Amino acid sequence: MTSYRSLFLKLLSAVLVFGAWEIAGRIPVSYSFPTFLDTMSALAALTLDGTMLRAYAETLQPLAVGVTISAVFGIGIGLWVGLSARFDWLFSPIFIVMQAAPLAALIPLLVMAYGIGLTSKVFVVCIMAMPVIVLNTGAAVRNTPSSLKEMGKAFLAREDQIILKVIIPAASPVIFSGLRLGISAGFIGAILAELKITPTGVGDIITYSRSIADYPSMYAAIFSIILFAVLFLNLVERLEFILFKGNNRGYVSD
């Protein structure tokens, strides 16, 4: 019952947003702002002739590598930072600076150091994604309720059991929210890298379509990457509920 209603509300909000987009495109608010329907037909055309598929094969490389590195090392370093005050003191400032740094200004430095290939793009994705994953994980681990750790100790848990069976599950909701934020930042990083370093993949479609004033195609590419990001984040949330069943206690599910 409620799931039908929430599905209905989601459809309604989609219809409202896309309807407003269509109207705004028809007025038009700007010559370079296509209607929703034009964008969708451009999206269909790009998908059917295989352009989109080739673009994603290109874009997904730095994205997948960067997000994987960020998730694995980010959670690992975050756990360490949360468990050890000394490690926190040593590493947290690096990630706070990384989070605050204006990435676009750093890209020329990265290109000088690592060239215009995959390495630089992976770096951009990591710089975007990793800090929030590390800092969230660290904070979540640090804030594990002390009574739960005490309970583990009282029932004879070894140090590794306390980490695996108490601290990580307790921290998992915040770790996963950090992961979701990190991954969405990684998407921004991947596109930014393709716009700023070398135009490849989805970034190339955006840049090229803009240069020939094919705005529907440009918006179709932007729309597709947003859609892809949302679907991927939903997948991560599913993964969380499979791994940690008790976490499903009524925060955003979609």
Q: Which of 154, 212, 231, 252 binds another protein (CB under 8 A)?
A: 154
Measure the CA angle with vertex 66, ends 105 and 227; round to 5°.
90
CA distance 254 to 251: 9
**Residue 144 contacts another protein per CB under 8 A:** no
Q: Which of 112, 156, 212, 252 binds another protein (CB under 8 A)?
A: 156
Q: Which stretch binds another protein (CB under 8 A): 61-69, 105-113, 141-149, 195-203?
A: 141-149
Q: Which of 45, 148, 188, 222 binds another protein (CB under 8 A)?
A: 148
Q: Which stretch binds another protein (CB under 8 A): 54-62, 113-121, 154-162, 231-239?
A: 154-162
Measure the CA angle with vertex 111, ends 192 and 64; round to 5°.
50
Count Cβ atoms below 10 Å from residue 60 Cβ, excluding itself.
Answer: 15
And the tokens for 190?
A: 């991947």
Q: Which stretch binds another protein (CB under 8 A): 45-53, 85-93, 164-172, 181-189?
A: 164-172
Q: Which helix H or strand E contains 62, and what residues bound it?
A: helix 51-83
Closest CB to another protein among residues 42, 162: 162
CB 251 within 8 A of CB 177: no
Kindly list the residues in this chain that would bind another protein in the complex (CB under 8 A): 145, 147-148, 150-158, 161, 165-166, 169-170, 172, 244-247, 249
